[in-house]
């Protein structure tokens, strides 16, 4: 399996500025330069898979082939056990056309109703793709509980309604470095650095 060498340049298959900041920070120690698909004006492919790994592969392959550079994509979501793992791969879509996460969190809360099962997890799949079509994927998970009402000003997405195991605070009440140390994406990144980047 091919690995990225230190000092490589890769494309992040995302148009999200917050995600670019997060990934650049996580990859800084490897001297890997990250440019976003948005900066290169690459089109965003439709995410048609029904798994996190499948969607991250679609995005990474599209960016790698369009740019001629190795590309990294992630697909992540919020999985609520009382909702049979929903919203899952549709996490962003639950916010409606504007991807309003306040709307998405309210929808989760409403659908959970009076259940006493508050179990939930965040899942992140990362896929590294090369322009010739080779891919490698890793998955990280963080388990915990839903909370209502949402709490905290940091983070993004469903962070304000998720309290990880062993914590009294939600993801949105932690600073970025604390969250990255235990988050689904932090765990996926640890695997990615171990398996996909030369030491």
CA–CA dist 105, 146 (Å, integer) = 10
Residue 104 confidence class, pLDDT cut points 50, 70, 90: very high
**Residue position matching structure tokens 């060498």:** 5
* 34 has a pLDDT exceeding 90: yes
The CATH architecture that domain 9-196 belongs to is: Alpha-Beta Complex (3.90)
Element containing residue 184 per DSSP (H, E): helix 184-196
Per 3-state DSSP, the chain is made up of helix, strand and coil in percentages (nearest 5) of 40, 25, 40
Q: Can you give the residue ranges of every domain in the chain?
A: 9-196
Give residue 22's pLDDT.
81
DSSP at 46: P
Residue 184 annotated in ligand binding? yes
Residue 30 confidence class, pLDDT cut points 50, 70, 90: confident
Residue 14 annotated in ligand binding? yes
Structure tokens at 94: 């639950």
Q: Give how far Cα 20 sits from Cα of 45, 74, 190, Å.
A: 18, 11, 17
Q: Give how far Cα 15 sits from Cα of 39, 86, 110, Å.
A: 8, 24, 30
Q: What phi and psi values does residue 142 have, to the nearest 5 degrees?
A: -135, 120
Q: Residues with catalytic annotation? A: 75
Residue 26 confidence class, pLDDT cut points 50, 70, 90: confident
Which residues, listed in sequence order, are joined to residue 79 by a DSSP beta bridge? 87, 121
**Per-residue model confidence as pLDDT tens digits over 52-83:** 999 999 999 999 999 999 999 999 999 999 99
Residue 158 annotated in ligand binding? yes
Residue 76 annotated in ligand binding? yes
* 93 has a pLDDT exceeding 90: yes
**Per-residue model confidence as pLDDT tens digits over 163-172:** 999 999 999 9
CA–CA dist 51, 83 (Å, integer) = 16
The better pLDDT of the pair 34, 1 is held by 34
Render 21-34 in DSSP notation, one character per residue: HHHHHHHGGGT-EE
Between helix 184-196 and helix 17-27 the angle, nearest 10°, is: 50
**Per-residue model confidence as pLDDT tens digits over 144-199:** 999 999 999 998 899 999 999 999 999 999 998 899 899 998 899 999 999 999 87
């Amino acid at each position: 399996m091919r690995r990225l060498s230190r000092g490589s340049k890769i494309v992040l298959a995302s148009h999200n500025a917050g995600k670019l900041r997060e990934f650049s920070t996580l990859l800084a120690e490897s001297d890997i330069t990250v440019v976003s698909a948005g900066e290169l004006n690459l089109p965003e492919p439709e995410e048609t898979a029904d798994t996190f790994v499948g969607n991250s592969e679609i995005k990474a392959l599209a960016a790698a082939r369009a740019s001629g550079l190795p590309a990294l994509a992630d697909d992540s979501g919020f999985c609520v056990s009382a909702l049979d793992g929903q919203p899952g791969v549709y996490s962003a879509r639950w916010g409606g056309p504007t991807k309003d996460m306040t709307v998405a969190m309210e929808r989760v809360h409403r659908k959970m109703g009076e259940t006493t099962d508050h179990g939930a997890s965040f899942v992140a799949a990362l896929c590294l793709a090369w322009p010739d079509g080779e891919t490698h994927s890793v998955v990280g998970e963080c388990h915990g509980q839903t909370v209502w009402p949402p709490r905290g000003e940091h983070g993004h997405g469903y962070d304000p309604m998720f309290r990880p195991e062993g914590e009294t605070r939600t993801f949105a009440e932690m600073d970025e470095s604390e969250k990255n140390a235990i988050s689904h994406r932090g765990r996926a990144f640890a695997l990615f650095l171990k398996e996909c980047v030369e030491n």
